[in-house]
A = this chain, B = another copy of it.
Amino acid sequence: MLADRLGLHVSTVSRVLHAKPDESHRAASSATVERVRRLADELGYRPNPHATSLRTQRSNLIGVLVPRLSDIVLATIYEGIEEAAGEHGLSTFVTNTRDVPDFQRARTDMVLARRVDGMIFGDAYIDAGFLGEVAARGVPFVLVSRRAGDYPSVTCDDYLGGRMVGEHLLSLGHRDVAVVAGEPYASTGIDRSAGFADAYAEAGIEIPAHRFTHSRFDARGGHEATERLLAAGDPPSAIFAVNDFAAIGAFGAVRDHGLRVGADVAVAGFNDTPLAAELPVPLTTVRSPMHEMGRRGLELLARLLQGEEVSSERLRPELMVRASTTAVLT
């Protein structure tokens, strides 16, 4: 269509439009180059990506799977992915799997049916069984947020973050502590819990098994898990919830038991979501670089797609101390 209006053959137009600035002389005469570029600009011409994909066997599309986009942590990671994708000329598809294996499988099939060039999983199970199948199909992919097996991943150094919280609570004199540990299949909760437990172990304190309880990652889940911890009538002096939403749920359960967060029971979270600092009792938490994690994840995948060797990255967390662990009175 551009070609028609210029009286040129489409192949000439295509060559011009794809020439790198310094190689335009091999595409056409400078007068032709000039004419083509001007009209393309004027008309806002954009090549049909379906035709391009069909011809080049490359879609420049990336499929992203997350447990839930309504979890601000994953949404923020995805924002990083999308931002970096734009800079690499890639487009992204996201979809929710709710951590349900059947959905992970079905969504992966759907994404692959769209002929993506690669995938990013934000919902990896620690056992990596399903990822093995994906790898066997030859699909290039990376993980974000959670690690699994030896697949390339970009995560927060969750173990270190857990240690930081442990050391912080130890320094405040808490000896009887509990952990709202998240889902058993997610490396985030596993590593954060382990780092926390190790900090205590090194101080000579073994946290008993009944002080650990799994939980969903949302507020409701944190509430229920904390309820289980408090039901015995022997409350710990501090609770580490492995993410901020679970910590907010812990706030609710502590409140329901007539206890005050900060004064009676210290509560710490993980992620430093934007709400943490604004809560009526500001939440002590570990800042994890969520947006950056998404960016790096996309870049790792981009390098993988170029055929480069890549290795996993672990980003540095930072402890944010606030009133939920330090308030004497709320």
A interface residue numbers (CB < 8 A to B): 44, 46, 48-51, 53-54, 59, 68-70, 72, 75-76, 78-79, 82, 86, 91-96, 109-110, 112-115, 218-220, 222-223, 245, 248-249, 251-252, 255, 261, 274-275, 277-282, 330
Contacts and interface: CB of A to CB of B under 8 A. Distances in A.
Nearest to A251: B280
Contact of A54 (B48, B82, B249, B261): B48
A275 B243 CA distance: 13
A68 B219 CA distance: 21
Nearest to A274: B219
A96 B171 CA distance: 42
A114 B49 contact: yes
A280 B49 CA distance: 51
9 contacts: A46-B109, A49-B50, A50-B53, A86-B110, A219-B274, A220-B274, A251-B278, A251-B279, A255-B280
Contacts of A248: 275, 278-279
Candidate in A50, A94, A109, A223 with the most chain B CB atoms within 10 angstroms: A50
Nearest to A250: B278
B76 A70 contact: yes
A172 to B, nearest CB: 20
Nearest to A281: B280
Nearest to A54: B50
Contacts of A68: 79
Given A46-B112, A280-B330, 19 more contacts: A46-B109, A48-B115, A50-B54, A51-B54, A54-B54, A69-B69, A69-B78, A70-B79, A72-B72, A75-B75, A91-B110, A91-B114, A94-B94, A218-B274, A219-B275, A219-B277, A220-B274, A220-B278, A252-B278
A191 to B, nearest CB: 23
A279 to B, nearest CB: 7
Contact of A72 (B49, B70, B91): B70
A49 B113 CA distance: 8
A49 B115 contact: yes
Given A54-B51, A219-B275, A278-B223, A79 B93 contact: no
